[in-house]
């Protein structure tokens, strides 16, 4: 490889675990340490597909459950050329949700197997590290009310949490579970330590393929 590639680092977790705050802090910390780093978010609501997803989440439209699942996946696939280009140029990507949210959220609906839900995302760029921000439903409840979007109820979030627990058992993915009940700075320190290790290790390795 001509230049050292960037790492693909994903943050996952249930609602209110602090993913978005921690993604932003991690990008800043990597940049301050002299590394190129950028934030990406899924769903990316700016594309044509992303706008369909956004309207669905905001309950402005209804979509059939399989259909919306495939749109979430297509919304990742449409970003793959850009992701690969950035990684190959040496930029580390910090990603707020990825295929794991895709599989966990849809398989929490009745009639969906985890296996079916994972299929459309097989072969996506494989994260070098997936940080799971662990927060119990009780602790999440202490952080305030749920929002108004689809999926933001405590019963659904509990089902999602169980699906994440199944996904974390997969040894083909480099999961690190982070205790998100700590204060923001302690969580940030844990995340930064794992991420710097990963950035150093990934730079000479090829980009892998997820779930393949």
Q: Is 116 in a helix, a strand, or coil?
A: helix
Which residue's CB is nearer to ligand 2DT, number 15 or number 190? Answer: 15
Residue 168: φ, ψ to 5°: -65, -20
- Binding test (CB under 6 A) with ligand 2DT, winner from 151, 156, 176, 208: 151
Q: What whole-number distance in Å separates Cα of residue 62 and Cα of residue 91?
A: 37
Question: Quick check: 163 binds ligand 2DT (CB under 6 A)?
Answer: no
Which residue's CB is nearer to ligand 2DT, number 65 or number 205? Answer: 65
| Token pair in block for residue 127 | 């994260």
Interaction residues for ligand 2DT, span 54-73 (CB under 6 A): 57, 72
Per-residue three-class SS string for 175-195? EEEEECCCCHHHHHHHHHHHH
CB of 196 to ligand 2DT, least distance (A): 25
Q: How many residues bind ligand 2DT (CB under 6 A)?
A: 9
Nearest CA to 8 among 78, 85, 102, 103?
85
Which residue's CB is nearer to ligand 2DT, number 102 or number 127? Answer: 102
Q: With 0-12 CB in 10 A as exposed, 13-18 as middle and 19+ as buried, what is 46? A: exposed
Which residue's CB is nearer to ligand 2DT, number 72 or number 175? Answer: 72
Question: Quick check: 16 binds ligand 2DT (CB under 6 A)?
Answer: no
Question: Quick check: 18 binds ligand 2DT (CB under 6 A)?
Answer: no
Interaction residues for ligand 2DT, span 95-124 (CB under 6 A): 97, 101-102, 105
Helix (H) or strand (E) holding 158: helix 154-168
Which residue's CB is nearer to ligand 2DT, number 18 or number 102? Answer: 102
CB of 97 to ligand 2DT, least distance (A): 4
* Closest residue to ligand 2DT, based on beta-carbon distance: 102
- Is the backbone of residue 91 left (phi > 0), alpha (psi -120 to 50) or beta? beta
Q: How many CA atoms lie within 13 A of 116 on its CB side?
A: 14
Which residue's CB is nearer to ligand 2DT, number 1 or number 123? Answer: 123
Which residues of this chain interact with ligand 2DT, rule CB under 6 A? Answer: 42-43, 57, 72, 97, 101-102, 105, 151
């Amino acid at each position: 490889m001509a230049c050292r590639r960037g790492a693909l680092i994903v943050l996952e977790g249930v609602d209110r675990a602090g993913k978005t705050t921690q993604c932003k802090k991690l990008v800043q910390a990597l940049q301050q340490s002299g590394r190129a780093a950028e934030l990406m978010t899924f769903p990316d609501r700016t594309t044509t597909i992303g706008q369909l997803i956004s309207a669905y989440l905001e309950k402005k439209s209804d979509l059939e459950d399989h259909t919306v699942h495939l749109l979430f996946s297509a919304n990742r696939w449409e970003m793959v050329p850009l992701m690969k280009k950035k990684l190959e140029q040496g930029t580390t990507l910090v990603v707020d949700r990825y295929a794991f949210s895709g599989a966990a959220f849809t398989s929490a609906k009745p009639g969906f197997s985890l296996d079916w839900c994972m299929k459309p995302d097989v072969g996506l760029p494989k994260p070098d590290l997936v940080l799971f921000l662990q927060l119990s439903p009780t602790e999440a409840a202490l952080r305030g009310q749920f929002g108004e979007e689809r999926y933001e109820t405590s019963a659904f979030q509990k089902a999602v949490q169980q699906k994440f627990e199944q996904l974390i058992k997969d040894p083909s993915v480099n999961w690190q579970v982070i205790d998100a009940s700590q204060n923001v700075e302690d969580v940030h320190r844990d995340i930064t330590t794992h991420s710097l290790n990963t950035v150093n290790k990934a730079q000479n390795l090829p980009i892998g393929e997820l779930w393949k």
